[in-house]
Amino acid sequence: MDTRKFRYENLQELYLYCYYVAGTVGLMSVPVMGIAPDSSSSAQSIYNGALNLGVGNQLTNFLRDVGEDASRGRVYLPQDKLAQFVLCDKDVFARKVTDNWREFMKEQIKRARTFFNMAEEGASQLDKDSRWPVWSSLLIYREILDAIEENDYDNLTKRAYVGRMKKYLMLPQAYNRTQSKGSLIFPY
């Protein structure tokens, strides 16, 4: 899709792209990771969680990389949602953070967090030995969204990232999540 498509008219088109490039990776990972023998969830809900984690990660990548993608002539943002906030590609290419941009970004971040929230149950129902890397990914990608907010929604000229030390400090938190069987949805 990247060789012929550089704009996405709406969320459905963007979701389809996310499904192809990241959701399928999540789906393929479930048989490798395994489902906990004592799982209280259906296999379908675990696969849905994996799909949601992949989509959430890809949406977060798009939000983190808006400025870099713009320098390549790509805009991985739903055009209809940009228009809803009186924005367009020209605003993305101008790389100026405005109040409209901040409001737009708040909505996009909220959407990505919703996918992460929906991924939690599936992550908690994987085989116990496989949960830690999945929870680590989930928590670190959420932290990227926090970093965008901390940059005052400037993902046009700044790249949000999670530093190595912060990642290391998150590992015990991720490990603690592996010990729980329930969903621990964040209050975002």
- DSSP assignment string, 60-86: HHHHHTHHHHHHTT---SBHHHHHHTT
The whole-number pLDDT of residue 6 equals 79
Average pLDDT over residues 147-163: 97
| Cβ proximity of 18 and 54 under 8 Å | yes
Bridge partner list, 35: 126
Q: Reply yes or no on whether the pLDDT at 122 is more than 80.
A: yes
Evaluate if residue 133 carries a pLDDT over 80: yes
> 55-109: per-residue pLDDT in tens?
999 999 999 999 999 999 999 999 999 999 999 999 999 999 999 999 999 999 9
Angle in degrees, 0-180, between the axes of helices 24-33 and 43-64, rounded to the nearest 10 = 130
- All structural domains of the chain: 11-178 (1.10.600.10)
CB 125 within 8 A of CB 46: yes
Torsion of CA 6, 153, 64, 18, to 10 degrees: -60
pLDDT at 182 over 80: no
Go through 47-79 and write b for each residue having 16 or more CB atoms within 10 A of its CB, e for each that does not.
Answer: bbbbbbbbbbbbbbbbbbbbbebbeeebbbbbb
- Interatomic CA distance for residues 15 and 56, integer angstroms: 10
Average pLDDT value over all residues in the chain: 93
Measured distance CA(49)–CA(10) in Å, rounded: 23
Q: What is 113-166 written as a DSSP string?
A: HHHHHHHHHHHHTB-HHHHHHHHHHHHHHHHHHHHHHHTTT--SSS-----HHH
Tokens of 106: 């708040």
48: enclosing H helix or E strand: helix 43-64
The answer to whether 17 and 3 are in contact (CB under 8 A) is no
8-59 pLDDT tens trace: 999 999 999 999 999 999 999 999 999 999 999 999 999 999 999 999 999 9
**Contact present, 78 and 9 (Cβ < 8 Å):** yes
